[in-house]
Amino acid sequence: MSGNTNGQSSAGPATLITNIGELMTQDLECRVLKDAAVVIEGERIAWVGSSKDAPPADQRVDAEGRAVLPGWVDSHSHLVFAGDRTAEFEARMAGQSYSAGGIAVTTDATRSVSDQELTCLVRERVAEAVSQGTTYLESKTGYGLDVKNEARSARIAAAEVDEVTYLGAHLVPAGSDPEEYTDLVCGPMLDAVLPHVRWADVFCERGAFTEDQSRRVLLAARDAGLGLRVHGNQLGEGPGVALAVEFAAASVDHVNYLSDKDISALAGTWAGWDPATGQGTKGTTATCLPACDLSTRQPLAPGRELIDAGVQIALAANCNPGTSYTSSMAFCVTTAVLQMHLSVHEAVRAATYGGALALGRESGNDVDGERAVGSLAVGHRADLHMLKAPSATHLAYRPGIPLTHGVWRAGVRVV
């Protein structure tokens, strides 16, 4: 059978997942269906609807009343690293404040391992994320911080994750002149990573890169044809959000300290976009990283205020060795509900469709051939997360309990 709405056919056997207690589609219609079913053909979703109306299929999976959501879309992580920063974490928990300087510890460790060792570490982290329901994953470079090691990080990441972001502008290495290093980031280093990356990012923060240096990085990356992201407003109010808006960046991430002006500026980028149709000009997604906020003891990003102002937000795990050594998107969703005052639906949407928005992967179907992720609709990539629970509410209702029962990634069951 084929549920393809445009007359094209899809290869591969059809799998019917039926008797779904709650199906949270997170598509443009934001549907929550009861006693629902989904048909998968190949890597795509071929049909969505009520169990009683489900078409025949080659294979059948009985969900037995469990909830199904889109797979998590983790739009911000730093998976290409070696080493350990437990001592830094213990010191921070004892009262020391977070600063960007700890990145240098990871840089030394990362440079010291072989390609094979680094690849194995990345694979282990990806597998850990997938086991918890993450089906689409971004990772940044940023722990190489020289031409050779940034290029190596980009190459390894490109083979293991869905989206790669160039973050040579993570920190100025000790002993380097900041202006000379910025020249390197904008020139030879950018050229070296370019075949492996789709995005570029800059840590625009005190202790990292100034506004002028960040602007140079963004200009060079834009001229090279890369999409733009910004680490901004993590440690205090600063120019990060304004730069992201100025450059029409796809996302600005962290956003812990926002002025009313910052929130208004972000909201203004979404004024020409219709969330009901997905049409119009997309704005800059505000990516909130609650696990990082807890680890660094920063104020949680104002997700509630951003949503109320009309800003599209994403939730991401920010897996990294210094400030958020977790890939648990469920933990981020739980925190967003319990402490950031998002509803369960809003939090799940931010961790699925919101992440896809931040990565430019929220649209695409059988017509254009580039399948959307982060939502469940006909023609989208078949990324599904089945819970050991009858509804997504249990993610926040039972915090800390591992609730992943099954995971399908591009139509293949991997958990």
pTM: 0.95
Domain at 26, CATH number: 2.30.40.10
- Is 7 inside any structural domain? no
Domain containing residue 373: 14-70+365-413
Identify the residue whose tokens are 């980009």. Answer: 154
In this structure, are 64 and 82 located in the same domain? no
In this structure, are 85 and 146 located in the same domain? yes
Integer Cα distance of 76 and 315 in angstroms: 9
In this structure, are 62 and 85 located in the same domain? no
Integer Cα distance of 17 and 39 in angstroms: 6
Q: Say what angle helices 147-160 and 103-112 make with each other, to 10 degrees.
A: 80
pLDDT the model gives residue 12: 77
Integer Cα distance of 329 and 388 in angstroms: 16
In this structure, are 142 and 24 located in the same domain? no
CA-wise closest residue to 82 among 149, 134, 155: 149
pLDDT the model gives residue 7: 33
- Is 352 inside any structural domain? no
In this structure, are 84 and 97 located in the same domain? yes
Token pair of 72 as six digits: 């998590």
| The CA-based dihedral angle spanning residues 106, 109, 111, 117, taken in that order and rounded to the nearest 10 degrees | -110
- Report how many domains make up the chain: 2
pLDDT the model gives residue 162: 97
What contacts 37, CB < 8 A, 6 or more positions away? 16, 17, 18, 19, 20, 23, 47, 48, 49, 50, 51, 53, 54
In this structure, are 261 and 401 located in the same domain? no
Of 296, 327, 342, the residue that ends a domain is: 342
Helical H runs in 297-352?
Answer: 303-309, 329-339, 344-351
Along the chain (415 residues), what's the average pLDDT of each consecutive run of 10 residues?
34 91 96 98 97 97 98 98 91 81 86 98 98 98 98 98 98 95 98 98 95 98 98 96 98 98 98 95 98 96 98 98 97 98 98 98 83 97 98 98 98 97
Half-sphere exposure for 249 (CA within 13 Å, toward CB): 31
What contacts 313, CB < 8 A, 6 or more positions away? 285, 286, 287, 288, 303, 306, 307, 350, 354
Is residue 318 exposed (0-12), middle (13-18) or buried (19+ Cβ within 10 Å)?
A: buried
In this structure, are 144 and 210 located in the same domain? yes
Q: Count helices and strands (H / E) in the chain.
A: 15, 18
In this structure, are 37 and 108 located in the same domain? no
- Is 78 inside any structural domain? yes
Integer Cα distance of 350 and 279 in angstroms: 18
Three-state SS for 358?
A: helix
In this structure, are 44 and 161 located in the same domain? no
- Is 116 inside any structural domain? yes
Domain at 287, CATH number: 3.20.20.140
Q: Measure Cα distances from 107 to 101, 168, 200, 321, 368 in Å.
A: 11, 11, 19, 11, 40
- Is 261 inside any structural domain? yes
- Is 47 inside any structural domain? yes
Beta bridge partners of 134: 72
End-to-end Cα separation, the chain, in angstroms: 25
In this structure, are 136 and 206 located in the same domain? yes
- Is 234 inside any structural domain? yes
pLDDT the model gives residue 1: 27
pLDDT the model gives residue 100: 60
pLDDT the model gives residue 99: 67
Token pair of 101 as six digits: 């300087």
In this structure, are 61 and 118 located in the same domain? no
In this structure, are 164 and 284 located in the same domain? yes
pLDDT the model gives residue 11: 60
- Is 358 inside any structural domain? no
